[in-house]
Structure 1
């Protein structure tokens, strides 16, 4: 699959979701926004559900790359999960945009999009669960990380850096 065309298509669907919402996203609108024919779009994604699920999976791939880089740099999975967002980091901004678009697309409880989102979130959870033996502690880390990420997505004020460091230290038993 031509990743350049695929990424242009997925960038287009993200932009349309952010600008207009899921009800206004059509295959024709995505093809126009991406600068491809409808047939070209259908070559990569055979329907709207597959297109939206592809966007979710790309979000997971982007996050997995960020996680792998963080672990390679010596950060634990839990530390990565609990890190505040960085609005000056181009990769983090792309991840935020993807997450916002994904949140706007998940509207059906039993769709391919919902299943893709569950798969992505479970893969993140499993990394924390493998790293932290206590399942209750792992769940607390997940919930706090989700709250930090949601706050960043909503543009809420960043937590005080020293207080954040203390929270992470306590959660991770340091």
Structure 2
């Protein structure tokens, strides 16, 4: 999948399975054994991206944070991370655009969106606060794609303010 990711980023989805296999150092038959078609490889890569993001968020839930909004705060920490590698973030977003041209991938992302809505809905924050904080965090993340991210000090201030909002909602 790593070879496919690299090739899709540089050459798009027109890359052949033979080329992916060559890049990965495996036979085409070996690749087809694991991924029956290019569509299967593309959807597997999309599922991998979904699970990687979920794992990143789970890793950022603070062990001593038992209050309402703990999952939202972890989501913010991942999405608004001033230490994040901008090149990797831009690659991830570019790959999302490329994979997004496949209809099956849209269904994977819709299912993931529903999963997040359900998971975040049980996180204990009022719906409006939760939606505002998540939308803002996603917006800060999107500035990387636009090529004009906030400077590091501003990104940290935005992250801290969003985190604070998850504690102030009852005031």
Q: Same fold (TM over 0.5)?
A: yes
State the alpha-carbon separation in 2 of the partners of residues 143 and 162 from structure 1. Answer: 16
Shift of residue 28, structure 1, vs aligned partner: 2.0
**What secondary structure is seen at the aligned counterpart in 2 of 1:68?**
helix
Q: CA RMSD in A?
A: 2.7
Aligned to 1:79: 73
The alpha-carbon distance between structure 1 residues 70 and 164, as it changes in their structure 2 partners (threshold 3 A), is: closer
State the alpha-carbon separation in 2 of the partners of residues 128 and 25 from structure 1. Answer: 37
- The gaps in structure 1 that reach 5 residues or longer are 1-9
Correspondences of 1:1-174 after superposition (within 5 Å): 10-22=1-13, 24-74=14-64, 76-83=70-77, 84-85=80-81, 86-88=83-85, 97-108=91-102, 111-158=103-150, 160=154, 161-170=156-165, 172-173=167-168
Shift of residue 153, structure 1, vs aligned partner: 4.0
State the alpha-carbon separation in 1 of the partners of residues 35 and 139 from structure 2. Answer: 32
Residue correspondences, number: 159
Q: TM-score, normalised by structure 2?
A: 0.76
Shift of residue 56, structure 1, vs aligned partner: 1.1
Shift of residue 124, structure 1, vs aligned partner: 2.8
Stretches (4+) displaced over 4 A: 92-96
Shift of residue 154, structure 1, vs aligned partner: 4.1
